[in-house]
Structure 1
C-alpha cells in the first residue's frame, strides 16, 4: 500500500462489529469472529488466523461424566452466550440439556464454580482464555471432548471490495513472524498457553 498505518483501537460489541465495517467507521475487526457463508454476504474476511471449535468447559472431576464421546448424557445444565455460533450449533448434540443463556463467559465461569451450571459451551480457546483472564487455575478445569464438536475458522472482518487491503492483511497473517508468534503461545511442549492448535 506504500502508506504508514496508524493504529487506532476502538471498542466494539458482538452486535455492532459488522455494521461498523459496513458503514466505514472502522477498517478491520480482529477478534474471535467465525467465518461463515451468512456473514460473507455482508462483509469480507481475511484468510483464517486461528481455528478452534465448540467444546464444553467442566470442572476437572466431572470431565468423564459429561463427555459426550464417553457416556450417555442425561440431564445437564449448560451455559452458552446467546447470539454466537455456539447458540446455533450445539443443541442437537445435547437434546436433553437445560440450556442457560449467559450474558458473557465470565458469568458462566462463576456459575460453573458455584455449581449452578455443569458446563459452559463455547469455542474452547475462548473458554480457557476466560479462565486465564480471571486468574483461576486452568488445571481445575477441562475442555471436553478433546477434539472440538465443530471447527470454527476465525478471520478478521474487513470491508468488501478493497483488494489491496485484503492482500496486505492476508500477507501479514501468513507471514513467518505470525507463525512464530503462534508457536510462542500455543506450542503444546513449550507454549505459554495450554491449548492444542487445530489446522
Structure 2
C-alpha cells in the first residue's frame, strides 16, 4: 500500500478490519457472535467443586473441567481469528441454567449432569466425565445404603440430579427423607461433620475427593452405597447453537484423541488416588471422533 495516499491507506485498513469483523459477526452461531463482539468469553465455574472447578489456594479459578474448557477457548480464538479475554463467573447449582439461558455466561465448566430434562432448556457437549449419586457419612454411623437413611436428614445441592435421585427413592420406598439444602460441598460437609445432617448426597467422585482433601476430619468420613444415578458431565451452553456445539465437541474430541484429557486427569486425580482407566478410558476412546 506504499503508493496509496495516507487517507486511502486508512480507508483500506478500515475496510479490512470491517471485513474481518463481518466474518465472525455474520456467524450462524449466536454464541460466537456475542463473544466476538465483546472480545470476551464468559465462563461459569464452581467455587468448591474440587478438583473439577474451584478456587485454589491463591484464589485462582482452577480444576479439571476448567482446564479442559481452556481447549474450547483456544478453538474459539482460532475460529474468530482474534484474542478474547476469559472472564470467569462463579455460579451455583441453583442459578447455572438461568445464567446459560440468559446469556450471562457463554458456557459452564463445572460438574453439571446431562439430563433429558435439562436438554429442554440448554445444550451440552459430549460427556467428559461419568459418575453417580453416592453418600458421604461419618464412619460408624451405621449407614451403608440409602435405605439406612429412613427418617433421617440428608444434605443436597438444590436443583442437583442427586436431589432428584434421593427424592425419587424416598417416594418409591417410603423413606420419609428430610432434605437440607446447601449451596456447595463445603457447606454440606460442614453440616455433616457438625451433626446437622446424617449424610451428604453428591456425585461420587467429587465428594470422595472433597472428603479426602478438604474435610476437617477426613479419617472420620466415608463414601458409601451403590450408585443411585448415572451422571455424565458435559460443558453446558445455550440451546439451538449447532455451530458452537460442533466447536466445543471438536475441542473435546481432540483432547481425548491426543491424550491431553488423560494428562489432565492424571494431574488432578492421581494425587487423590484415582487412576485412569475403566469407564473413563472407554469414554475417551469412543469419543475420539475423527476429523
- What TM-score does the superposition give when structure 2 sets the normalisation length? 0.57
Partner residue in 2 for 1:96: 175
Q: Which runs of 4+ in 1 moved over 6 A?
A: none
CA RMSD after TM alignment? 2.7
User: Deviations for 1:22-79, whole angstroms, at most 9, x for unmatched residues?
Assistant: 23332111111111111111211011111111100011333xx21128x866543322
Partner residue in 2 for 1:81: 157
Q: Give ranges in structure 1 of 5+ residues lacking alignment.
A: none
Structure with greater Cα Rg: 2
My pick for the range that moved more, 127-136 or 158-167, is: 127-136
User: Deviations for 1:173-196, whole angstroms, at most 9, x for unmatched residues?
Assistant: 23121222113333xxxx112457
Would you say 1:164 and 2:247 are equivalent positions? no
SS in 1 for 2:90: coil
The alpha-carbon deviation at position 144 of structure 1 amounts to 0.9
User: Deviations for 1:76-113, whole angstroms, at most 9, x for unmatched residues?
Assistant: 33222332222211135453254132223333322322
Partner residue in 2 for 1:138: 218
Of the three residues 59, 63, 66, the one matched with 2:138 is 59
The higher-RCO structure (CA 8 Å, 6+ apart) is 1
By percentage of residues, which structure has more helix? 2
Decide whether aligned partners of structure 1 residues 111 and 177 sit closer, same or farther in structure 2, where only a CA change above 3 A counts.
Answer: same
**What are the equivalent positions in structure 2 for 1:1-199 lying under 5 Å apart?**
1-3=79-81, 4-62=83-141, 65-68=142-145, 74-94=150-170, 95-104=174-183, 105-131=185-211, 134=214, 136-145=216-225, 147-174=226-253, 175=255, 176-186=259-269, 191-195=270-274, 198-199=279-280
SS in 1 for 2:140: helix
Corresponding residue pairs, total = 191
- What TM-score does the superposition give when structure 1 sets the normalisation length? 0.79
